[in-house]
Amino acid sequence: MDKQLDHSDLDALVLRELSSLPSLAPSRGFQDRVMARVSLPRPVPLVLLQRAGAWILQPHRAVALATAYATCVLVTVLLAAPWVSAHANFFTLAASWVVGQVGGWLDAAALAVASWGVRSGVVSALRAVAGTGPRLWATVVTVTIAYAGSGYGLHVLLKAPRRSDELAGTL
Amino acid sequence: MPTAKDLQALSDREVVELAKAGKEAAYRELLRRYERPVFSLIYRMVRHRTLAEDLAQETFIKVLNALQTYRPEYKFSSWIFKIANNAAIDQLRRRELDTLSLDGAPDARTADEVAATALQVSDLAESPLEELESRETGSAIEQAIGRLRPEYRTCILLRHVEGRSYEEIAEVMDLPLGTVKTYIHRARLELREYLADLRT
């Protein structure tokens, strides 16, 4: 190497050396480590809903809200009671009209179901099954076992810990 | 939804807009674009790999979490380099305050006090990380850069390693354009002297 480089040579050397400096990389997994600590923006309504839910679900606030709701209902009932009793005749009439209407609809529905059962032969089939004792019992037992089995299966399924719960438990 | 390849074709501004809309791929694209430049700048400033990685990580976390406040009239690169540079400068200042003498406390008067307060260096052999560090920052030019003042170092690295314009460097460093040009000129002179010293 020539030790007697003049200034312009040294300038050129400095620039050459600087431009040849490599770009250095952080260790593997850098991106994931950063992303684990970055919170991505979420839609505003969702954020508000979640915040409201979290706020309400705190035990003391939930109790306070339930108490306030019950108090409102109670106060409304107490305030409305004298007026309702003063107009008792009107309410009796209105209630009997509503009961009559609803009863009429229920009667019509029951009649429609019954006539469909007779027309379609469902009633005669049921009567035939009921007529043979062992077949009826077999049907009842099968349906009961199937129902109980389904219930137990559902219970086991809901009780089984999820993989995320297991992982959370190990941390 | 744009793929990673589509994102590569977009400008910083467009990628930032997608990131603001909550697209994780856009966040990763910004990380991919700037992880090397930001890490290189910080590493060459603090000259310690683990520390540089922590500072680079903090820089990205700060930038990406504050993306909603980013104003598109500024260049994204200027913004991220400014935060990275500030992190590195803060670290260098802190390090200056924390500097301890290996030879014992300055107020130690007797030989026993000096011995009792001297730091014990148990193993002088280089760890694999230290080996990597000396490989990465051990060349003549890297050593010469390491001897520059921090402000000169930032200017020279942004100009000649990252290829940033004088205007952008002025924006990153909050300095007048003339000052940036002066710093770069002086930094080059100092580098020239260091390199000449190394060759004699």
* Residue B161 DSSP class: I
Q: Percentage of residues in chain B with pLDDT exceeding 70?
A: 78
Test the A interface: residue of B50, B162, B199 with most A CBs within 10 Å: B199
Q: Which pLDDT belongs to residue B44?
A: 93
How far apart, in whole angstroms, are the C-alpha atoms of residue A24 and residue B150? 19
Alpha helices by DSSP H, chain A: 7-19, 30-35, 44-56, 59-86, 88-120, 122-131, 133-159, 163-170
pTM of the model: 0.59
Q: Do B191 and A14 touch (CB under 8 A)?
A: yes
Helix (H) or strand (E) holding B178: helix B177-199
B85-115: pLDDT as tens digits = 999 999 999 887 765 444 554 555 566 655 5
Q: Are B170 and B154 in contact (CB under 8 A)?
A: no
Residue B137 confidence class, pLDDT cut points 50, 70, 90: low
Neighbour-count burial for A106-122, b at 16+ CB within 10 Å, e otherwise: eeeeeeeeeeeeeeeee
In the numeric block, the tokens 């062992």 are attached to: A134
Q: Which pLDDT belongs to residue A48?
A: 86
Residue B152 has pLDDT above 60, yes or no: yes
How far apart, in whole angstroms, are the C-alpha atoms of residue A111 and residue A105? 10
**Other residues' Cβ atoms within 10 Å of the Cβ of residue A38:** 18
Q: Which residues of A touch B197 (CB under 8 A)?
A: none
Alpha helices by DSSP H, B22-118: 24-46, 49-65, 76-98, 111-117
Q: Are B75 and B12 in contact (CB under 8 A)?
A: yes
Whether B69 and chain A come into contact, CB under 8 Å, resolves to: no
Q: Backbone dihedral region of B18: left (phi > 0), alpha (psi from -120 to 50 degrees) or beta?
A: alpha
Q: Which pLDDT belongs to residue B65?
A: 94
Q: Backbone dihedral region of B22: left (phi > 0), alpha (psi from -120 to 50 degrees) or beta?
A: left
Whether B191 and chain A come into contact, CB under 8 Å, resolves to: yes
Torsion of CA B90, B92, B96, B101, to 10 degrees: 140
Higher pLDDT, B135 or B15: B15
Q: Give the residue on B whose Cα is nearest the Cα of A31.
A: B31
Q: Which residues of A touch B141 (CB under 8 A)?
A: 14, 17-18, 21
- How far from the centroid of its chain's Cα atoms is residue A96's Cα? 40
C-alpha closest to that of A16 among B175, B139, B24, B123 = B139
Q: Which pLDDT belongs to residue A149?
A: 93
Mean pLDDT across the stretch B126-135?
65
- State how far residue A48 is from chain B, nearest Cα, in angstroms: 16
How far apart, in whole angstroms, are the C-alpha atoms of residue A70 and residue A108? 39
Test the B interface: residue of A4, A6, A14, A35 with most B CBs within 10 Å: A14
Residue numbers of chain A with a pLDDT score lower than 50: 1-3, 164-171
C-alpha closest to that of B38 among B52, B50, B27, B17 = B52
How far apart, in whole angstroms, are the C-alpha atoms of residue B45 and residue B81? 12
Q: Which pLDDT belongs to residue A42?
A: 77
How far apart, in whole angstroms, are the C-alpha atoms of residue B191 and residue B155? 13
Test the A interface: residue of B80, B160, B185, B193 with most A CBs within 10 Å: B160
Helix (H) or strand (E) holding B18: helix B12-20
Q: Which pLDDT belongs to residue B95?
A: 81
- State how far residue A24 is from chain B, nearest Cα, in angstroms: 5
Q: Which pLDDT belongs to residue A73?
A: 92
Residue B130 confidence class, pLDDT cut points 50, 70, 90: low
Residue A96 tokens, joined? 């009997």
Give the residue numbers in A contacting B (CB under 8 Å), as ranges.
1, 3, 5, 7, 10-11, 13-15, 17-19, 21, 23-27, 30-31, 33-35, 37-43
Mean pLDDT across the stretch B38-63?
95
> What DSSP letter does each residue of A128-149 carry, written as one string?
HHHHSHHHHHHHHHHHHHHHHH
